[in-house]
Amino acid sequence: MNKGTLRRIVSLILEYKFSFFLSLLFALIYTISGLLIPLLTGRAVDFIVAKGNVDFTGLFRILSLIAFLAILSFISSYLMARLNNRISYRVSRRMRDLSFSKLSRLPLSYLDSHPSGDTLSRIINDVDNLSDGLILGFSQLFTGIMTILGTLIMLFGLNYILALVVLLVTPLSLFVASFISNRTQRMYRVMAEDRSRQTECIDEMVRMDDEVKIYNGKRNAEAVFDKINEDYAASSFKATFFSSITNPATRFVNSIVYALTALTGALLAINGRISVGLMTSALSYANQYTKPFNEITGVIAEFQSAIVSAFRVFALLDEKEESRIGEGEISSSEGDVSFDDVSFSYDKSQKLIENFSFNAKSGEHVAIVGPTGAGKTTIINLLMRFYDADKGRILLDGRDITTIDRQSVRKLFGMVLQDTYIRNASVKDNILMGRSFSDEDVRKAARLSHADAFIERLPNGYDTMLSDESSSLSQGERQLLSIARIMLSLPPVLILDEATSSIDTRTELLIQNSFARLMEGRTTFSVAHRLSTIENADTIIVLKDGSVVEMGRHEELLEKKGFYYELYRSQFI
C-alpha cells in the first residue's frame, strides 16, 4: 500500500515543480547553515582556551559569521515552511476536487452499496488528515535526511573515530523508527475506519432525528453510537500510544549516542589527539545527528496516518466509473421507447426483471403499477441508464440507448420523484438546478406547477435561501418545487414517480391539469401506487415479481378481474 500510495502523492506534488524544487533549495541552505555553526563554534572555543590569551579579533570574526548563518538559517526555514504549506494545501485541494468530480462519474450502484458517511469521511476528514501529515512530512523529512548525511560528512572530516562511534549506533535508531512505524500504520488504519463509521452514524442520526424521536429510539441510537465511539476511542488510544513512545524512545537513543561520543572525545582530548574545540564541535554534531531521527520518528504517527488517509482517498478515485460505452449524441427525440427482451437484477444471484418487452409510442401515457419490490423503480433506473440491462435492449426512437452517451440520454428525460431534493441555495436556483433560463421562465414554471403561491409568501420570494435539512417547506411544497423543475425544461419523455403523493387533494387536481397540458405530445411513464391517478393512462403495465402479468387500459384490466383488479379492490373496497 505504502509504495503505490507514496508514488501517487509524489506525482501530485510534482504538479507544483517550481515550488517543490525551490523548497528543496531552501532546505539545503537551512541544513548547510546549521551544519557550519557547530564547526565555527568549536573554532571559537579554541580561540579562547588553546592559548594563554584570547584572540578577540579572530573570535569576533567567527561570532559574526555564526550570527550571519543563524539569520540565514531562520530566513530559509521560514521560506521553506511557507512553500511546503502552499504545496500541501494545493495537493489537498487538488485531491478534494478530484474526489468531488469523481462522485458525478460513479455509477448509482456504488452510491447504493456504500454508506454516504464513509464517502463524506474520505473527501473531508481523510483529505484534511493528509494535508496535516504532508505539512509535517515536508518540513522535517527533507531537512532531516540532509542533516543526517551532512553531519556524518562533517564528523568524518573532524575525526573518523568519533564519526564511527556515531555511525555504529545508527542501526539502533533505524530499528526504533521501523518498529514504531509498522505498528503505528496498522493502528491508524483501524482508527480511520472507525472514524468513518462514526461519521456515518452521526450523519444517519441527524437525517433520521424525527423518526428516532417518533419511535422513542433515543436510547437505542445512543447505544449504537456509544459502541462505535468506544471502538474509535480504543483504536485512537492504541494509535496514540504507539505514536507517543517515539519521543522517549528516540531520546534514549540520543542519550546513548551523546554519551559514547563524549566518552570517546574525552579520551582522545586527554591523549592530545583532538582539541577541546574539536570535541565541542563533535558533541554538537552528535546531538545534531540524532535530532533528525527524533523529529522524523516524531512525525511518523502523523505521516502514517496521512498515508492511510491518502490510500482511502485513492481507493475512492480508483472506483470503477459509469461505463463510457455509447459515445453517440442525441439532441432530440420523438419519445418512442421500446423494451426488447430486457432482463436485469441488482444481485445476480436473485432474479428481478426477466424477459420484459414493451413498446411505448410518442405521446402515450404508460403507467407502471405493482406491489412493493415488483420492479417498478427498476424499470425507471434502466430507462435513465442509472443501471444497464443484463440482457436485451432498450430503444429510444429505434436506437439502442447503450450506444448513446448517458448524459445525452438523461437530457431527454424529465423526472419527478416521490422523495424530493432541496439544494442549499435560493428558491430560484432550486428550480434552475444549474440550467440557464431567464427569471421569467422560472416564474412561468412555478405558476404552471402552482408553486408560485407559496413562493410569494416566503420572506424573500424567489431569493429565499433553502436547505435540504433545515428547510421550513412542507413535503408538499418541496414536491411542487420538484414539479416546477420539470415544467421549466419540457423534455420529450416524462417520468413521474408518485409525483403528487405528498400534495393535498385540491392541489393535486390543479397539478393533474397542469400535467395533462405538459404531457400532450410527450411520452410519459408514471409509477403509481394510488391507482386513481392513472385511470386515464393509455397503457397500464402490471408487474409482479419482476414480470409483466397484465397489460392494457384501466377498464380492460378491471374486466379481466386479474391481479390489477385485486390491487384496485384493495384500495377502493
Mean pLDDT of the chain: 79
Q: Please tell me the least confidently modeled range out of 3-7, 51-55, 108-112, 226-230.
A: 51-55
Amino acid making up residue 215: Y
Q: Is 398 a residue whose pLDDT tops 60?
A: yes
Closest CA to 531 of 416, 379, 370: 370
Asked if the model's pLDDT at residue 428 lies above 60, the reply is yes
Residue whose cell numbers read 391539469: 513
Among 458, 505, 513, residue whose Cα is nearest residue 483: 513
pLDDT at 331 over 70: no
Residue 185 is predicted with a pLDDT of 66
What are 263's three cell numbers? 566518552
Give the pLDDT score at 138.
66
C-alpha–C-alpha distance, residues 343 and 389, integer Å: 6
Please give the average per-residue pLDDT across 72-85, as a whole number. 87
Place of cell 535508531: 173
Evaluated on CA atoms 360, 365, 371, 377, the torsion sign reads positive
22 pLDDT more than 70: yes
Question: Which grid cell sits at 433?
Answer: 438546478
pLDDT 10s digits, 284-322: 777 777 677 666 665 666 777 788 888 888 888 888 877
Grid cell locating 423:
439544494
Mean pLDDT of 431-452: 86
Which comes out higher in pLDDT, residue 227 or 179?
Answer: 227
The full set of domain ranges for the chain reads 87-317, 337-572
Residue 497 exposure: Cα atoms within 13 Å on the Cβ side: 17
Is the model's pTM score more than 0.85?
Answer: no
Q: Which pLDDT tens digit goes with each residue over 523-560?
A: 888 887 777 778 888 888 888 877 788 888 888 888 88
Residues 103-144: tens digit of each pLDDT: 878 877 777 777 777 788 888 888 888 877 776 676 677 777
Do domains 87-317 and 337-572 share one topology? The answer is: no
- Write the class of the CATH domain 337-572: alpha beta
Alpha helices in 106-169 (DSSP H): 108-113, 116-121, 127-158, 160-168
Q: Tell me the β-bridge partners of 542.
A: 369, 550
CATH topology (fold) of 87-317 = ABC transporter transmembrane region fold (1.20.1560)
What pLDDT is recorded for position 298?
58
Residue-wise burial string across 353-382, b where 16 or more C-beta atoms lie within 10 A, e elsewhere = bbebebebeebbbbbbbbeeebbbbbbbbb
More confident residue, 140 or 11: 11
Answer whether residue 328 shows pLDDT above 60.
Answer: yes
Per-residue pLDDT reduced to its tens digit, 146-202? 888 888 888 788 788 877 877 777 777 667 766 766 677 677 778 878 887 887 777
The DSSP line for 1-24 is: -HHHHHHHHHHHHGGGHHHHHHHH
pLDDT band at 409 (very low <50, low <70, confident <90, very high): confident
Report how far residue 212's alpha carbon sits from residue 219's, in angstroms, rounded to the nearest whole number: 9
What are the backbone dihedrals phi and psi of residue 451, each rounded to the nearest 5 degrees, phi first? -90, -15
535: Cβ–Cβ under 8 A, 6 or more apart, which residues? 554
Average pLDDT score over residue span 4-15? 80
Q: 96-117 burial by CB neighbour count: b if 16+ within 10 A, else e?
A: bebbeebeeebbeebeeeebeb
Distances (CA, A) of 179 to 246, 302, 363, 494: 10, 15, 71, 62
Name residue 98's amino acid. Answer: L
Cα 476 to Cα 104, 453, 483: the distances in Å are: 28, 13, 11
Q: Is the pLDDT of residue 75 over 60?
A: yes
